[in-house]
Amino acid sequence: MMNMASPEMLHCLSTSGNVAGNGTDMTVFERQRVRMKWQQEQFQQQQQQQQQSYFGGNEFSMFSMGGQVGQAQQFHGLINGDSAGVGDLLGRAVKADPGLENVWPEFGKLTMPGTGFNVENAGFESAGILNCSGFEMNHTTSRTSSCPLAAAEAKVRESVLPEKIASAVGRESFKKRKADKVQSPKVVAEEETKDKRIKGCAEDGSPRSLRQTITKTAPPPLQPPQPPPPPTTTIEKHQQILQRFQKFKNPTTFMFEHGEARPLTATAWPKEREKISERMKYLQDLVPGCNKITGKAGMLDEIINYVQSLQRQVEFLSMKLAAVNPRLDFNIDNFLAKEVFPACAANFPTIGMSSEMTNPSYLHYDPIQQVATCGAEMGINPAEIALRRTISAPVSIPDTFLDSCFTQIQPSSTWDADLQNLYGPEFHQGRLMSFPSQAAFTGPIDASNLKMEM
């Protein structure tokens, strides 16, 4: 209804204005007055509508703002001036009625686009009517209808609208973001999302155009030159760090400065790759049970498991040793007694004499020398040795002891089976390699004893 009315009216006015001479001025003037009253009535109607449904009712009046730069500036002024206060804008909109008189002059300041302005302008005499005509010009150019008051109100509401959208959708984000730059894309984004949502709505024409206008108008005014906001996400932080270290563009060259590290991926270095594969093969031999596994990940897995198990064994054995030795005196020479190692006794030199001869300060001990000097001494009673032995006396570790322990390997199928039962599934089967040496060590002792120990 309103859409159609004013263009027709204007058309009539223009035609009448052109046709008639002076007489038409008066008639035009009178008609302007009539129109003003009519528009005021319209505005009052709109006001009522506004109070009923703020958001939905008068949106169709909003698209009078379409394509008008001046109003964009107004919008800009409103937004910048009062970005935080949604409530203020709301108050402004409510006060549109009494505040209209203020709004009118603002509109008067707007630079009106369109050539049609001049045509009508000639017919008007009073400044007050000029304002009114200005609004009319707005309407003609925009091909929409609404009274200038409605336009003013619409402008106010428009400024409120994006704020309302933002508040409805992401009020929290607004409060968090300090920089306006971040705000504006958010506003636009939120409006666009709302735009899509409202598309299916019955009053779709106006909201869409409204969003469009807002998206058009919002970005330009809300881009004041500002320093970049502080990084709010980890990506931005990383980027900042990267910018600072741009000189180290090639990480591999950066690493090679100190000649230490190589690039993690071996693809760039065929020699390295060869070496790596060589080492992996060696590891395969070392780590039991890796013969079947191909592929780096599986191999690494096995290696990790093995290292972990070895470390755990060390822990366990140290605990065991601590439990067995209340005083931490490890008199290895006692081990060399005939009674313990009848099989290897012949090889062991006794330490009895050495304890007397050697310096009590263990720091100066030289076990190999002692072994050499006492090699001939045999057959001394190990009990005497134990009695004479003092804790501070150095312990000589004859090479032969170790040789006999570690090199004699007497594997037997029954032995292996027993050990398997002993150690259960957690020990890798391949580790039986180490058990035969243990078997040599405790040669005379049968498996049952071992079980009890463990």
Partner 1 sequence: MRPPTSLKKEFLKKWIMGLQLCSSSKKEMSFLERKKAIKLSADVAMASARNATTRWSRALISNASKDDSNKGLVECILGPESESLKRASMSLVLCNKRNRSKKILRKSCSIRRARKSSSQMVMASSIAKRLVKKRTQVLKSLVPGGGSMSEFSLIEETLDYILSLRAQVDVMRHLANATELLNRK
Q: Up-side HSE of residue 232: CA atoms within 13 Å toward CB?
A: 8
Q: Which is nearer to partner 1, 20 or 255 (CB)?
A: 255
Q: Which is nearer to partner 1, 122 or 300 (CB)?
A: 300
In whole angstroms, what is the distance from residue 151 CA to residue 133 CA? 13
Q: Could you tell me how many residues make up the chain? A: 454
Q: Which is nearer to partner 1, 53 or 311 (CB)?
A: 311
Q: Which is nearer to partner 1, 122 or 314 (CB)?
A: 314
CB of 393 vs partner 1, minimal distance in Å: 8
CB of 175 vs partner 1, minimal distance in Å: 29
| Residue whose token pair is 């957690």 | 426
Type of residue at 145: S
In whole angstroms, what is the distance from residue 26 CA to residue 300 CA? 99
Q: Which is nearer to partner 1, 20 or 280 (CB)?
A: 280
Query: What DSSP assignment string belongs to 436-454?
Result: HHHHHHTTTS-HHHHHHH-
Q: Are 180 and 102 in contact, with CB atoms under 8 Å apart?
A: no
C-alpha to C-alpha distances, 220 to 54, 182, 215, nearest whole angstrom: 27, 13, 9
In whole angstroms, what is the distance from residue 356 CA to residue 336 CA? 17
CB of 453 vs partner 1, minimal distance in Å: 6
Q: Which is nearer to partner 1, 324 or 387 (CB)?
A: 324
Q: Are 144 and 47 in contact, with CB atoms under 8 Å apart?
A: no
Q: Which is nearer to partner 1, 45 or 373 (CB)?
A: 373
Q: Are 51 and 199 in contact, with CB atoms under 8 Å apart?
A: no
CB of 391 vs partner 1, minimal distance in Å: 6
In whole angstroms, what is the distance from residue 17 CA to residue 27 CA? 8
CB of 335 vs partner 1, minimal distance in Å: 4
Among residues 196, 188, 237, the alpha carbon closest in space to that of 217 is found at 188
CB of 142 vs partner 1, minimal distance in Å: 45
Task: Tell me if residue 337 falls in helix, strand or coil.
Answer: coil
CB of 228 vs partner 1, minimal distance in Å: 18
CB of 320 vs partner 1, minimal distance in Å: 5
CB of 376 vs partner 1, minimal distance in Å: 22
**Nearby residues of 33 by Cβ (< 8 Å), 6 or more positions away:** 129
CB of 395 vs partner 1, minimal distance in Å: 5
Handedness of CA 16, 17, 20, 24 (dihedral sign): positive
> CA 412, 416, 418, 419: dihedral to nearest 10 degrees?
130
CB of 406 vs partner 1, minimal distance in Å: 6
Q: Which is nearer to partner 1, 30 or 329 (CB)?
A: 329
What does the DSSP 8-state code read for residue 329?
-
Q: Which is nearer to partner 1, 204 or 301 (CB)?
A: 301
Q: Are 222 and 166 in contact, with CB atoms under 8 Å apart?
A: no
In whole angstroms, what is the distance from residue 262 CA to residue 269 CA? 9
Q: Which is nearer to partner 1, 29 or 427 (CB)?
A: 427
In whole angstroms, what is the distance from residue 250 CA to residue 263 CA? 11
